[in-house]
A and B are shown apart, each in its own frame.
Chain A
Amino acid sequence: MSTVTRVDPASPAGSTRPLSQRRPLGDRTFQLLALGCGLLVLVILVLIAVTTSQQASSWFSNEGLKIFTNNWNPGANQFGVLAFIYGTAITAIIAVILSVPVSLGIALLLTEVVPYRWSRPIVYVVDLLAVVPSVVWGLWGILVFAPWLQKIYTDIAGGVDGVPVLGPLFGQPVSGASFFTAGIILAFMITPIVTSLSREVIATVPAIDKEGAYALGATRWEMIRGAVWPHSQAGVVGAVLLGLGRAMGETIAVALVIGSSPEITSHLFAPGYNLPAGIANLFGEASGEFRAALMGMGVLLFVITIIINVIARGAVQRNARRKRGA
């Protein structure tokens, strides 16, 4: 959130003190109340980190670094979660690769091409994607989309069979519920946020830069390449990272379409698992050490998404600050 520079009317210009030093009790109480609510965000984030880590401590201390092995066998009390981390990364990367070009296209369409009165309806339509609940994407994904994709996957797998790089990526085995299906559904879900943030970033490009490019005879595309892109690069990277973070944390849609099989494989059309889907599907039947392991997966997910979000928000805010400094 960027803060605007403005003079506080309660302390008039030229004076560092407010008009009156004597503030009624109610006034101060209100300020403290507001501050308390602000601090609540900090308190909740710290409590999340502390309490979930406590619940997971037995997993962390018993397994040590073995948590990062591919050894998932709850029956034998073995909880190495590398396959889940791998699935989280793969599905999120597929989602970002599919979603970013489309999001950037829409963001540029909205800021540089269509007139203002058309941009409103386009924004509403893109936002509708975000209003469709995650579980509805999952229901549609598993009952309609996955069976349809399975036929396409089979055709592709037949085509690339034995081809060096493509074979291991897109060959058999194929399944409707797979890494790739989860990635496509995630791409639908993160497109609105990536679009709106890229649009925010692109809107900060100074009009004078764009007019300068046009004055030199640039076409619209050349103007975008020469004036818009260099100015918004860092911010767009931030927007993409935020999309990545969202894709990693999205739970229910993925839990339904990923195929629920904790395996590490290069085959993108094969069923897999990821951290949030694993927690959602397995938590109900878990207890003792198993539950601690699932809590620990939550802690890992929390840490990963917090790091990505901090980097991404930093990039977006720096972009906004540079605009004000210019």
Chain B
Amino acid sequence: MAGVSAEPRQVDLREPAGWRRTKNRLATWLMVLSFVLVIIPLGFVLVTVIAKGASSINWSFLTGGPVPPVVAPAGVGGLGPAVLGTIEITAVATVMAVPLGVLAAIYLSEYGGRNWLAAFIGFLADVMTGVPSIIMGLFIFTIWVLHFGLSGFAGSLALGCLMLPIVIRSSYEILRLVPNSLREGSYALGATKSRVTVTVVLPAAIGGIVSGVLLAVARAAGETAPLLFCIGAAETANANVFSGADTALPLQIFSNASQPYVGAAERGWGAALTLIAICFILMIAARLVTARFARYSH
């Protein structure tokens, strides 16, 4: 009587052969290919902007003025007023949107809990990030420009509306990551809820919040559509944000891009390089803040 072999059968751990393997390989290569498909246009845009923009950038282009008319040849005047306008308008928008956005995120994360109102507001903030930026421009045109006229401040309001939901979303995500033990420790010392939030939760989350804010600013600084009907078209620098027409880099790119003149194209590329540089610096700053200061991040 032969006994049943006690030796267990070997499990075949080799990669399956034939069509199954080919399909798996194919799928992996398609995934890699899709990443390559993203790098190509990105590289193409960046190389073009740098190659064509670098020649027109110099100190008088960045700080000089007045903004030349689109028919002017390259080298006349400068985009100083537009650089100043972009910085002013974005800064005022940031000053308005960030405190409101962070406070709203505090409501959602610290006070909202699981109640329906907080869930509803969170949902609306998400939906608001999808509202087209040109709608913000039309909105501010209706409630502000029709009554008080064109100004840099109107542009700031429109950009602020655009930034608000982005700031809420990113701050909320960070506040959620602050461990409850920190809050409990503070409550145990007898602190009130607002004190816990302001002195314990916010400092713990500040790195992540700043990083999110910088990304929102980068997004707003590059936006054209909300400014289109709000700030008008100034040719000289306007240091007063609250009155009179202003101008900004994205608007200069837009007006130069839609004209067939050689000088306009040169100015457009120069302005595009300046704008991309501003946006990238803000993004790199956000990464550095995350790496250096953020205690909690994704």
| Residue B183 at the chain A interface, CB threshold 8 Å | yes
A-binding segment of B1-9, B64-72, B87-95, B118-126 = B118-126
CB A280 to nearest CB in B, in angstroms, measures: 6
Interface contact B45-A1, CB-CB below 8 Å: no
A312 to B, closest residue via Cβ: B130
Give the complex CA separation of A135 and B46 in angstroms.
13
For A294-326 the 0/1 string (1 means CB < 8 A from B) is 010010011001101110110001000000000
Q: Is B258 an interface residue (CB 8 A)?
A: yes
* Interface positions of B from 210 to 268, Cβ below 8 Å from A: 218-219, 221-225, 228-229, 250, 253-254, 256-258, 265, 268
Mask: chain A, 76-113; 1 = CB below 8 Å from B; 0 = not: 00000000000000000000000001111110110001
Find the residue from B118, B139, B165, B218 having the highest chain A CB count within 10 A.
B139
Chain B residues with Cβ below 8 Å from A40 are 100, 104, 164
In the bound assembly, the distance between CA atoms of A6 and B114 in angstroms comes to 9
Residues of chain B with a CB closer than 8 A to A113's CB: 28, 31
Is there contact, CB below 8 Å, between B34 and A139? no
* B130 in contact with A242 (CB, 8 Å): yes
Interface string of A261-278 (1 = CB under 8 A from B): 000000000000000100
Interface size on A, residues (CB 8 A): 99
**Contacts A222-B24, A252-B225, A313-B123 given; does A3 touch B113 at CB 8 Å:** yes
| Residue contact B124 to A246, C-beta cutoff 8 Å | no
List which B20-63 residues lie within 8 A (CB) of chain A. Answer: 20-21, 23-24, 26-28, 30-35, 37-39, 41-42, 44-46, 48-49
Counting CB contacts under 8 A, is B108 at the interface? yes
CB distance from B200 to the nearest CB of A (A): 11
CA distance A144 to B47 in the complex (A): 12
Which of B48, B161, B229, B265 contacts A283, CB < 8 Å?
Answer: B229
Sorting the interface of chain B by its residue count into under 10, 10 to 19, 20 to 34 or 35 or more gives 35 or more
Question: B193, A10: Cβ atoms under 8 Å?
Answer: yes
Chain B residues in 8 Å Cβ range of A103: 34
Q: Which residues of B contact A30 (CB under 8 A)?
A: 193-194, 197-198
Q: Is B131 touching A48 in the complex (CB atoms < 8 A)?
A: yes
Cβ A301 vs Cβ B135 within 8 A? yes
Selected interface stretch from A21-29, A58-66, A149-157: A21-29
Alpha-carbon distance A284/B137, docked complex (angstroms): 12
A124 to B215, CA, bound (A): 12
Question: Cβ of B82 < 8 Å from any Cβ of A?
Answer: no
Complex interface: chain A residues within 8 A of B192 (CB): 23-24, 26-27
Give bound CA distance, A138 to B38, whole Å: 17
Q: Judging by beta carbons under 8 Å apart, are A295 and B138 in contact?
A: yes
A51 to B161, CA, bound (A): 15
B269 within 8 A of A: yes
- The count of A-to-B residue pairs whose CB atoms sit within 8 angstroms is 290
Q: Could you tell me the distance between the alpha carbons of A173 and B261 in the complex, rounded to whole angstroms?
A: 26
Known: A102-B37, A221-B27, A301-B132. A1 touches B172 (CB 8 A): yes
Query: Is the pair A313, B223 in contact by a Cβ cutoff of 8 Å?
Result: no
Tell me whether B194 and A138 are in contact (CB under 8 A).
no
A313 to B, closest residue via Cβ? B126
Contact of B279 among A6, A133, A140 (CB under 8 A): A133
23 contacts between A and B (CB under 8 A): A1-B169, A9-B180, A9-B183, A9-B187, A23-B192, A23-B193, A31-B194, A34-B106, A37-B101, A39-B121, A105-B33, A106-B38, A108-B31, A133-B222, A133-B223, A134-B225, A135-B250, A140-B49, A143-B268, A219-B16, A219-B21, A251-B133, A298-B135
Known: A109-B31, A138-B257. 10 other contacts (CB 8 A): A24-B192, A41-B104, A133-B275, A135-B253, A135-B272, A135-B275, A143-B257, A217-B16, A251-B134, A309-B130
Give 5 nearest A-B pairs by CB, closest first. Answer: A249-B132, A133-B222, A105-B34, A30-B194, A34-B107
